[in-house]
Amino acid sequence: MPNKESLCRRKAVGSKIIDGQAYLVSLDKTPDASDAFYSLNSTGTRIWSLINGQKDIGQIAEKISQEFSITKASAQKEVAGFVGCLRKKGLLAVKKV
C-alpha cells in the first residue's frame, strides 16, 4: 500500500479565525518580521480549517469543490497552489500516514 501524505499545521504557527477570516502568525524567528503575519481570504480560511493532520490535498480539494461549487480539477489546482505557498513559507508540514 503506497504511503499517503497528510497535511498538518506546524506547531510554530499560531492561528485564529475572527469574523470568518484566518490570521496566522509564524512563531519562528525570521529575518523579515513582516513575513511573520498572514491573513487569509474566505477560501484560504476554509482550506486552513480543513488541515488537521488527517487529510491530504485530494480530500481537501474534494471538500472545496463541493462547498464552493467548482470542478474537482479547479479545486485540486487551487488547493495545491495554496498549500504550496503555505509550505514554502514554513506554515505547513506533511506527514506520511
The residue extents of the domains of the chain are: 5-96
CA–CA gap between residue 49 and residue 46 (Å, rounded): 5
pLDDT digits (tens, 9 = 90+) for 52-97: 999 999 999 999 999 999 999 999 999 999 999 999 888 999 888 7
Contact 21, 48 (CB under 8 A): no
pLDDT band at 35; cut points 50, 70, 90? low
CA–CA gap between residue 73 and residue 35 (Å, rounded): 30
CATH of 5-96, one of 3.10.129.10, 1.10.150.130, 3.90.930.60, 3.30.499.10: 3.90.930.60
DSSP state of 29: -
Q: State how far Cα 7 lies from the chain centre.
A: 8
DSSP state of 74: H
CA–CA gap between residue 71 and residue 2 (Å, rounded): 26
Q: Which residues pair with 26 in a beta bridge?
A: 13
Residue with more model confidence, 4 or 55: 55
